[in-house]
Amino acid sequence: MAESLSILVVSQSAAQCELLSDILGFIDYSNVAQTDFEHAKEQLVPPLDVVIVAATDGDDPLERLLQDVKKQTWDDELSRHALIILLNDRQQPLNLEKSDSDLVFASLSYPVKYPQLSDALDRAHMYRESSGSSRSVPLPFRGMVGSSPAILKVKKLMEQVADSEATVLILGESGTGKEVVAQNLHNLSNRGDKNFVPVNCGAIPSELLESELFGHERGAFTGAISARQGRFELAEGGTLFLDEIGDMSLSMQVKLLRVLQERTFERVGSNKTIHANVRILAATHRELEDNIRDGKFREDLFYRLNVFPIEVPPLRDRLEDIPLLINELIARLEQQKRGSVRFTPAAIMSLCQYRWPGNVRELANLVERMVIIYPYGVVDGDDLPDKFRISKGDERYVEPPRFDEGVTENVMAELAAFDAENRRNEADTLPEGGVDLKEHLADIESALIQQALERSHGVVAHSAKLLKMRRTTLVEKMRKYAIQRDEAP
């Protein structure tokens, strides 16, 4: 994956350029060039994929660069230009115009952390692959942050079904992001340039839902003073998302089933048949099979909807994604100029021991609350609201679900990296005589490889998984540093 991206690093500081290039090399991105803002325009030529920009003290150079990127469109059909990953080392968010902000593919804090940079580059690669079609494609998996096995399984299923016309039933608890999955399925599909029309079936009274879905003619009922299109007509050629389908009344279920079978409908008060060229996505937090047994949901409609089920995991089943989710939620608030905040390892560990009944929505609410209470500050474990400050001896402590050893190690590795970075920022200074940066990074790389081998008892395949690199790459690095293992790979 790494070798397929062409990357340009832009910074006013040559040392910063060199450091970022070394980091990219460490994670196997070899096709990397560097430049300063003054000469950046000359480097904006195909086949450039990504521009990593370290924000400057003044916004003018950055704004000029963004304008240059906008002008350097080398595929008119796709309106394709290089993707911008912005690194910001300031406490305050950048003050950019909306048209410029829209060019930014990802916004990360500097000094950059490996998981965030790696995740942004992975998303850039997926976007480049999806942009190979004949239409302009939005960012893939927007809002679906994480690298846990649970969320990767969801993304894999989405890739498999996105371009088909199959009806998808999205299952999951409230707050897990079912509408985000639906929106991304639409974006990735052949209908992505048409309308995505969501309807919350549980929020509309049953007596009004028919008119909302199918539209009505003037005088069809009291208050119908003019004709109105329904959601099926608004979604023509695109996607209709029926959220909370489990709350739909039985009488409406019969009418919806007819539309799914015949692909036609009539407005309320009309006998004119309208053809429906619409892809249906549905979602529910209810157990529909239980509802069928209770007589609350039609079995035939369930089988019509359940062609391709996708179950969105609750947050408690993907706790290792919490650091990345927090980073993404903060980045969104910064981009919206609503403030910022940082969480210490102790705070993140407390959040990893919580069951999250409200799932990602509850986490988003917490992050926003902390931004309001501690604007541009640091949130420690003791700063969290009471229900999140839990430990094993606490009566409010809930034993987190058992998860694989690899998952636990991922969480701890993320926290350790966060803690190490904080210590460096607070205590370390560049020696007066300077430092051999490449040698220093090589020492760090060698030490981490040795730790991974020790933890995996010398099994190279397991060590490569811990280090998130290919097994062949790890073998080469072990040969480079003359690192021995206790047993054969």
Query: What CATH number should be reported for the domain holding residue 92?
Result: 3.40.50.2300
* CA distance to 168, 179, 182, per residue, from 198 (Å): 14, 8, 9
Which pLDDT score, from 0 to 100, does residue 60 have? Answer: 65
Res 204 pLDDT > 60:
yes
3-state secondary structure at position 219: coil
On whether the CB atoms of residues 370 and 341 are closer than 8 A, the answer is yes
% of the chain with per-residue pLDDT over 70? 77
pLDDT at 66: 76
Residue 424 has pLDDT above 80, yes or no: no
Q: What mean pLDDT comes out for the span 43-54?
A: 79
Residue 205 has pLDDT above 60, yes or no: yes
204 shares a domain with 124: no
> What pLDDT does residue 166 have?
94
Residue 482 lies in a domain: no
Instruction: Using alpha carbons, select from 196, 187, 287 the residue that is nearest to residue 242.
Output: 196
Burial of residue 408 (number of CB atoms within 10 Å: 0-12, 13-18, 19+): middle
Whether 115 and 23 map to the same domain: the answer is yes
pLDDT at 100: 55
Which is nearest to 121 in space by CA: 147, 102, 97?
147
Whether 471 maps to a domain, the answer reads no
CA-based nearest residue to 68, from 36, 104, 41, 45: 41
Q: 191 and 279 in contact (C-beta within 8 Å)?
A: yes
pLDDT given for residue 250 in this prediction: 93
pLDDT at 258: 93
Specify whether 234 is located in the same domain as 167. yes
pLDDT at residue 407 greater than cutoff 60: no
What pLDDT is stored for residue 20 in this prediction?
83
CATH code at 358? 1.10.8.60
Reply yes or no on whether the pLDDT at 421 is more than 70.
no
Contact of 34 with 18, CB cutoff 8 Å: yes
Confidence bin at 415 (pLDDT 50/70/90): very low
Please name the residue ranges forming H helices in 215-321.
Answer: 231-234, 250-262, 288-293, 299-305
- CA–CA separation, 210 and 167 (whole Å): 20
Assigned domain for 136 exists:
no
Q: What is the pLDDT of residues 132-150, one digit of tens each?
A: 433 333 445 667 888 788 9
The segment with the largest mean pLDDT, out of 156-165, 381-390, 425-434, is 156-165
User: Which pLDDT does position 265 carry in this prediction?
Assistant: 92
- 249 and 157 together in one domain: yes
- The pLDDT value recorded for residue 373 is 92
Shared-domain flag, residues 109 and 205: no
Domain containing 29 equals 2-130
Q: Is 265 found in the same domain as 214?
A: yes
Please give the average per-residue pLDDT across 200-225, as a whole number.
84
Q: What is the pLDDT of residue 445?
A: 82
Q: Is the pLDDT of residue 252 over 90?
A: yes
Domain-located, residue 489: no
Query: What is the number of residues in the chain?
Result: 489
Q: Are residues 215 and 272 in the same domain?
A: yes
Lowest mean pLDDT among 61-70, 213-222, 274-283, 373-382: 61-70
Number of domains in the chain: 3
The answer to the question of residue 473 being in a domain is: no
For residues 38-48, one letter each, b for 16 or more C-beta atoms within 10 angstroms of the residue's C-beta and e for the rest, the string is eebbebbeeeb
- How sure is the predictor about 255, in pLDDT bands with cuts at 50, 70 and 90? very high
> What is the structure's pLDDT at 179?
92
At 412 the pLDDT is 47
- End residue of a domain, out of 347, 378, 407: 407
pLDDT classification of 410: cutoffs 50, 70, 90: very low
Q: Are 288 and 321 part of one and the same domain?
A: no
Q: Which of 36-45, 236-245, 261-270, 289-298 shows the lowest per-residue confidence on average (mean pLDDT)?
A: 36-45
pLDDT of residue 178: 94
Q: What is d(CA 210, CA 339) in angstroms, rounded to the nearest whole number? A: 42
Same structural domain for residues 247 and 204?
Answer: yes
Q: Is the pLDDT reported for residue 77 higher than 80?
A: no
Q: Please check whether residue 469 lies inside any domain of the structure.
A: no
* Number of CB atoms found within 10 A of residue 97's CB: 12
- Which of the four pLDDT bands, split at 50, 70 and 90, describes residue 59? low
In a shared domain, residues 186 and 220:
yes
Bigger pLDDT: 359 or 63? 359
* pLDDT reported for residue 430: 57
User: If you average pLDDT over every residue of the chain, what do you get?
Assistant: 78
pLDDT at residue 51 greater than cutoff 70: yes
Both 154 and 255 in a single domain? yes
Confidence label for 452 from pLDDT (cuts 50, 70 and 90): confident
Mean pLDDT of the 207-220 span = 86
What DSSP line would sit under 263-276, residue for residue?
SEEE-BT---EEE-
Does the global pTM surpass 0.75? no
211 and 277 in a common domain:
yes
Q: How much is the pLDDT for 213? A: 93
Q: Is residue 324 part of a domain?
A: yes
Residue 215 covered by a domain = yes
